[in-house]
Amino acid sequence: MNRQHTRTYRRRTRLGLPAAALALAAATFAAAPPPAPPSPGAPAPAHATERRAHAELAGLTLAPVAPLGIGGFRGTYGVADSPRAGTTDDGDFTDPDGVLPYLTVTGQKVTRTAGASARARISGLALRTGATEWARVRPRAGSTGSLDTYAECAPTPTGPAARAYARSDATEVLVLGHLVAPGTTTLRVTGAELKHPSTVRDGTLTVTYAGYQQPQGEAPERARSARAGLRVHVTGTLRNTRGAIAYQGDLVDLRLGEVTADCAPTAPPSATPEAITTASPSATPSPSASPSPSRTASAVPAAAGAPGPPGPGAALLPGGPGMLAGTGTPAAMWLLGLSATLVVAGTGLVLRARHDIRAWGA
């Protein structure tokens, strides 16, 4: 066989074999059944119905304040977490975040999550940076009570429901030795009280102390989540020994017994747009962000030049699902015909090449 004959054989074989392979692929596609649509009664994915509960004995944030020798810090202590229903956690008190150099906990300390509920209990603690005692939580005189918080998913036959409470009546809070009542308190302090008389002459502190719970009532309410806890937030303005402002802003943010429960399964997408609304502000101060104005979802206009949806009187192309437009013939039939043509053509090219080889070799 000379070189010219060899090139002719290879050319026809390269054309014939891919044509036959393409024909087999087209036939397989045409014969494959269409994917079945999801059944309306099919159960949702497993993750869609999972609930989560979380509890923290204490969460601490310290702002960096140079005149007081405080470096920035953020951490949590005594964390319990149940990421799904049926799991239980009695809290991690090993202090991986390094909170205990600042916090001294006295008496009871409990955090527990079980399935869709979370609780926390603390009898007392003191918060210090260096020699400065910023805050102290203790039982009231003559009381052995503690701060108790609880959040729970309590579903009802009509839908998700939750309840929460933050009970702090048996405890009291002091900031720099001053007893503060729930709400907002303004304190005027000296550099000596802050234990830094050489850098701070005096200061004005604003203390916000509040318990929070959502939903508000302790009985189960229609809600998709529950949250409760107690917060002591201190901001202030400090003046140096010359009377100039040395620092202004956040100082301490201490959260105690914060518990949360996420009660709602993942909701399926709605067929129609729904209005996006936000909850109205709670009467009790809450650490959550302030609500934003209500917004309503609106239809997105089509891009310029894009075809719009057909109107009520628009004529549809003949055919239907699985039909070639304008013919009414199933697409599978066209693919089967195409595959048969390609098989015949590809096989013919291969056989012709072999016939020529035999003729040339004779």
- pLDDT tens-digit map of 302-333: 333 333 343 444 333 344 444 444 444 455 55
Computed over every residue of the chain, the mean pLDDT equals 74
* Better-predicted residue by pLDDT, 114 or 295: 114
Name the percent of the chain lying above pLDDT 70.
58
Q: Per the structure block, which two tokens stand in for 251? A: 């100082």
- Collapsing DSSP to helix, strand or coil, 65 comes out as strand
Q: Is the Cα torsion angle 194, 200, 206, 212 positive or negative in sign?
A: negative
**pLDDT of 52-73, one tens digit each?**
899 999 999 999 999 999 999 9
* Better-predicted residue by pLDDT, 334 or 158: 158
pLDDT number for residue 335: 52
210: left (phi over 0), alpha (psi -120 to 50) or beta: beta
Of the candidate ranges 96-110, 149-163, 203-217, 243-257, the one whose mean pLDDT is the lowest? 149-163
What are the backbone angles phi and psi of residue 261, rounded to the nearest 5°? -140, 125
Q: What is the pTM of this model?
A: 0.60
pLDDT number for residue 356: 59
Q: Per the structure block, which two tokens stand in for 65? A: 């304040």
Q: Say what the alpha-carbon torsion angle 88, 90, 92, 93 is, to the nearest 10 degrees.
A: 180
* Better-predicted residue by pLDDT, 358 or 16: 358
pLDDT average, residue stretch 248-255? 98
pLDDT average, residue stretch 244-248? 98
pLDDT number for residue 159: 74
Distance CA 70, CA 50 (A): 42
What is the identity of the amino acid at 120?
A
pLDDT number for residue 272: 40
pLDDT number for residue 361: 53
pLDDT number for residue 157: 77
Q: What is the CB neighbour count within 10 angstroms for residue 166?
A: 26
pLDDT number for residue 216: 84
Name the percent of the chain lying above pLDDT 90.
48
Cis before 215 (ω within 30): yes
Of the candidate ranges 156-160, 211-215, 277-281, the one whose mean pLDDT is the lowest? 277-281
